[in-house]
Amino acid sequence: MGGKYSKLDPMDIVVPDIKNLLDRDSYLKPYEKEIRRRYGCLKDQIDMIEENGGGLDNFTKAYKYYGMNVQPDNSIICREWAPGAKQIYLTGDFNGWNRESHPYKKLDYGKWELILPPKPDGSCMVPHLSEVKVVIENHHGHKLDKLSPYATYVVEPPKDQGTIYKQKMWNPPQSERYLFKHPKTPRPKSLRIYECHVGIATSELKVGDYDNFTDNILPRIVKQGYNAIQLMAIMEHAYYASFGYQVTSFYAASSRYGNPEQLKRLVDRAHELGLVVLLDLVHSHASKNVMDGLNEFDGTDSGFFHAGSRGVHSLWDSRLFNYQEYEVLRFLLSNIRWYLEEYQFDGFRFDGVTSMLYHSRGIGQGFSGSYDDYYNMNVDTDGVVYLMLANHVIHTLHKDAITIAEDVSGMPGTCRPLQEGGIGFDYRLAMAIPDKWIELLKHKSDENWDIGNIVHTLSNRRWMEPNVAYAESHDQALVGDKTIAFWLMDKEMYTHMSTMSPPSAIVDRGISLHKLIRFITHGLGGEAYLNFIGNEFGHPEWLDFPREGNQSSYHYARRQWNLVDDDLLKYKYLNNWDAAMNHAEQKYGWLHSAPGYVSWKHESDKVIAFERGNCLFVFNFHPTQSFPDYTLGIEFGGEFRIVLCSDDEQFGGHKRVDTSIPIFTKPEEYACRRNRLQVYIPSRTALLLAKV
C-alpha cells in the first residue's frame, strides 16, 4: 500500500507571518530584517526551481532522470552530471569491460546521456546484478573509474579484490520485488524513539542483517513500548567503522545488511507493528573517497562540493556540499524523496546540522546564548536555506513526516514552521542533557550533584520548540567514552550482575541511579524521548567496530541480547524499568503535555518534584537518606496512586514502598501549589503518582 503523497507545489506564501515568532521571543525583534531576508532567499530558490527546473515536484525526482533507469521496453537511459569531465563512458560486464565502446553524449549544463537499447531478445543489455562503472575522462586525458552518484546498489568486493565498492545493476524481476502491504504509521502524539543500527543488532560475531532485525529486533522494540525507530548507517558507507557518517553512495541502502527488497520488508513490518521509521540522514558532508564516493566525480575538486578549503571539514576529514549549486540541490532533495517514496521512511534525523548552519562548521565556537551568534556573517545562508527547503519538501510530500535536527547551537526558530520564519524542523536533539550526565558521572559523586543545575539542564529549552530528550545515544556508547551503565558499574558488571552473586554496593547504586537518570530525562527533558539500542538494559562495555586497531574484531560491535534474556542476570531489572517508563508515558502522555512545572528542588535533601501530564514525578537522589512523610505541593487535589516506583522488586529495588496505599491531598497551599500531600521516598528512588 505505502504512503499517499501530495503533489509537491511551490510555497503559496510570499511573506512569512513572523509575528508569533517575535511575540514569543521579543529578543528576536532586532533581527526581524535578517529573518525575512533568509525567507526571501528561500523564495528565490523555489522560484528558480519553478522557472528552470521544471517545478519543484519534478526537480525532486532526479533519480528518475539521472543514474541508470530501465524503461518499459527494457532499454536503459543513463545520465550523469559531470560538468568538469571531457568525456564519459559506461563499462562493465555487459561490454566485456571495454572502457570506450559506450560513450555518453554531452548535453547542456554539464549533463551527459547514453541510451542502451534492449538486446535482440528484448531483455536489458545490462542484466540484474551485473557490475558497471562510469569512466570519467578528465581534461588531462586520464580515464578514471567511478560509481554513479545515483547508484542504487553497491557492494563490498571480495577480500581478494581490494576495498573499492562495486556498483551492481539492481533490476530484479517483478516476482522478486517487495511490495509494500501496510500504510505509513500516523504521527504519534508522543514520540518514543529507539535509535538502532542493523549491523550491531545481533549477538553473533558478524554484521547483522535486515532480516534478523525484522524478525527478531522489531518485536523487542515494540515490547519495550517504543513507537519509533531511528535507523542509523543505512546510506552506504565503504568504511563500516565510520558508523555510517562517511557516506559514499547516497542512494544505495547499505548492502552489508542485505539487499533493497529486504530493507523494504523491514520498513513495512515496522509499519505493521505501528512503528514510525526514521532515517539517520547525512546531508552535512560526504566521504572523501574518490574511487567509490562523490569526491572528484567529474575529475575536478568541485562538482558536488565547494572547491578548496571551504569544501573540506577539517575535523571530519570529509567534503562539504555546495548548497548553492543547482544540481547539488536537485541531488540532495531528490535523495530525501527517494527514501520517502522508494523505502517508505516516515522522516529523518538530520546529522551535523550545526556544521550546515555556520561557516565555522561549529568548530571551536562556543555558543554563549547571545543572539548575535545566530544572526551574523558566520551564518551560512546557503545551508540555512537548504534546510528550510528540505523541510518544506518533506512535510509537503508526507504530512505526518517527522524531522529532527542534530544542532548544538540552539539557533532560534529551528523547530518552528517556515510560515513563521523558522527552519521547519519538528524537533531538535537536546544534546546538553547527555553531556551533563556524563560530566556528573565522570567528575562528581552523586552526594555532590547540584540538584538545581540538573533541573536547569533538563528544563532549559526554547519555548514551543520541541526537544528530543535522551540520557545517552550512540555518541556516548562509542569507544573512547562509556555508557552510563559502564560509568556507574564498570568492572563490577563482570562479576556482580548475577542475581545469585553476593550483594554489591556498586551495582546496587548503579542500577538505582541508572533508573533515576533515565526517568527524570524522560519526564522533564523534552517533548520526545530517545534511547540507543541496548542501553535499555544497561548494555556493558562500549561500541567499537571492527578495524585495524582492534584486529578487525566484532566483539564490541554487537548487542548481547543473551544478557537481558537470562532471568538470572540483573540486566532484566533495567530492561523492565525501561518498558515501564514507556508504557506509563503511553498511558499518561507527558511528552505531548506542556513542559513540567518544577515545584520542588531541595539541594540538601536531593529531592526533585514536578508536575506534567496530570502526574506528579518525585525523585530522591540522596544516596542514604529516606524520607517517611515528605511533604510536596501539587496543583490539583484528590486521590492519587503510585503507578510507577523504581524501588519495586521487578526493577531490582528493595520493595520499601507499598504502592497499593492511596495518597490523598489536603487543600492547603504548599510550594506555591494549591494542595499538598505526603509521600514516603526511599533513597535513590523515583515515583510517579497519578490521580485515581
610-629 average pLDDT score: 97
Q: Smallest Cα–Cα separation from 415: which of 428, 402, 398? A: 428
DSSP assignment letter at 313: E
Q: Which three cell numbers stand for residue 207?
A: 554484521
525-531 average pLDDT score: 98
pLDDT value of residue 526? 98
Domain with CATH 3.20.20.80 in the chain: 1-66+149-175+227-428, 189-201+430-593
1-66+149-175+227-428 has which fold?
A: TIM Barrel (3.20.20)
* Active-site residue, 351 included: yes
* Chain segment 272-292, per-residue pLDDT in tens: 999 999 999 999 999 999 999
* Chain segment 478-512, per-residue pLDDT in tens: 877 789 999 999 989 999 999 999 999 999 999 99
For residue 230, CA distances in Å to 2, 249, 410, 539 come to 19, 20, 22, 18
20-30 average pLDDT score: 93
Considering the domain 597-691 in this protein, what is its CATH number?
A: 2.60.40.1180
Tell me which of 236, 298, 351, 578 is the catalytic residue: 351
pLDDT value of residue 1? 44
What pTM was estimated for this model as a whole? Answer: 0.96
Domain with CATH 2.60.40.1180 in the chain: 597-691
The Cα–Cα gap between 411 and 597 comes to: 24
The Cα–Cα gap between 202 and 107 comes to: 48
The helix/strand/coil state of 388 is: helix
The Cα–Cα gap between 316 and 243 comes to: 13
The Cα–Cα gap between 675 and 309 comes to: 62
125-149 average pLDDT score: 97
Helix axes 505-524, 432-443, angle to 10 degrees: 160
pLDDT value of residue 9? 61
The DSSP bridge pattern shows strands 615-620 and 685-691 to be antiparallel
pLDDT value of residue 570? 98
The Cα–Cα gap between 455 and 242 comes to: 34
Report whether CATH 3.30.565.10 matches the domain 189-201+430-593.
Answer: no
Is the pLDDT assigned to residue 16 strictly greater than 80? no
126-135 average pLDDT score: 98
pLDDT value of residue 53? 85
CA dihedral 115, 117, 118, 119 (to 10 degrees): -130
Tell me which of 268, 298, 382, 406 is the catalytic residue: 406
Rounded to a whole number of angstroms, the CA Rg of the chain reads: 27
The helix/strand/coil state of 113 is: strand
Q: Which three cell numbers stand for residue 544?
A: 567499537
The Cα–Cα gap between 200 and 290 comes to: 27
The Cα–Cα gap between 396 and 378 comes to: 30
% of the chain residues with pLDDT over 90: 92
Is the distance from CB of 459 to CB of 520 less than 8 angstroms? Answer: no
67-148 has which fold?
A: Immunoglobulin-like (2.60.40)
Is the pLDDT assigned to residue 542 strictly greater than 90? no
The helix/strand/coil state of 177 is: coil
Is the pLDDT assigned to residue 5 strictly greater than 80? no
Is the distance from CB of 272 to CB of 348 less than 8 angstroms? Answer: no
480 Rama sector, left if φ>0, alpha if ψ -120 to 50, beta otherwise: left
Is the distance from CB of 3 to CB of 406 less than 8 angstroms? Answer: no
Q: Which three cell numbers stand for residue 74?
A: 527494457
pLDDT value of residue 366? 82
Is the distance from CB of 228 to CB of 404 less than 8 angstroms? Answer: no
pLDDT value of residue 478? 80
Report residue 93's pLDDT band, with 50, 70 and 90 as the boundaries: very high
Report residue 3's pLDDT band, with 50, 70 and 90 as the boundaries: very low
DSSP assignment letter at 502: P
The Cα–Cα gap between 106 and 79 comes to: 10
DSSP assignment letter at 505: H
Is the pLDDT assigned to residue 2 strictly greater than 50? no
DSSP assignment letter at 216: I
366 vs 560, residue with greater confidence:
560
* Active-site residue, 450 included: no
Domain with CATH 2.60.40.10 in the chain: 67-148
Is the distance from CB of 371 to CB of 412 less than 8 angstroms? Answer: yes
Beta-bridged to residue 679, according to DSSP, are: 630
The DSSP bridge pattern shows strands 528-532 and 191-197 to be parallel
320-333 average pLDDT score: 97
458-472 average pLDDT score: 96
* Chain segment 63-89, per-residue pLDDT in tens: 999 999 999 999 999 999 999 999 999
Residue whose cell numbers read 555532590: 448
By 3-state DSSP, what share of the chain in percent is helix, strand and coil, each rounded to 5?
A: 35, 20, 45
pLDDT value of residue 549? 87
% of the chain residues with pLDDT over 70: 98
How many CB atoms lie under 10 A from the CB of residue 401? 23
